[in-house]
Amino acid sequence: METKNMRSGGGGPCGACKFLRRKCVKGCIFAPYFDSEQGMAHFAAVHKVFGASNASKLLLTIPPNKRLETVVTLCYEALARVRDPVYGCVGHIFTLQQQAVTLQAELAYVQARISTLQQHHLPMPPTQTPSQAEASSVCINPSIDITDLCNVLDQQLDDSM
């Protein structure tokens, strides 16, 4: 999002006025936040979800130093609502929360397995110096699944008993 006022530079209309097909006047509330290129697409979503009049009224009630944050939030929420009309940005938040819960459960499982292995005094892989880590990083598969690692640790535990 552009924070520069397009009208003061003598450019074309801001993205909002371009979308609304009206003349962009000096002092346009949308001009500092919706440039003439990508601002039109962002404003289209804001207009579809909130309406141009409501967005304008909202921006006029916000102090000028907080308007950029407000516009960014309006655009994010409007684009999310266009992509997911039922849940909007809440759907994205829910997905991220579910990922966090899953990762926390995986971390707890791995920590428990490591603790179990340490209690049974199984040898842990040797720690590497930074130069060794750099040399062996070519051989390490970054796509190793945490489940595969846990299965290997379980197998070591079973073999030691």
Residue 120 and residue 155 in contact, taking contact as beta carbons nearer than 8 Å: no
Terminal Cα-to-Cα distance of the chain (whole angstroms): 62
The tens-digit pLDDT sequence of the chain (161 residues) is 444 444 444 568 898 999 999 998 988 999 898 888 778 888 999 999 999 999 999 999 999 999 999 999 999 999 999 999 999 889 889 999 999 999 999 999 999 988 888 887 756 556 555 555 554 444 444 455 555 655 655 565 556 55
pTM higher than the cut 0.85: no
Q: Which long-range contacts (CB under 8 A, 24 or more apart) does 119-127 make?
A: 120/157, 120/160, 120/161, 122/156, 122/157, 122/160
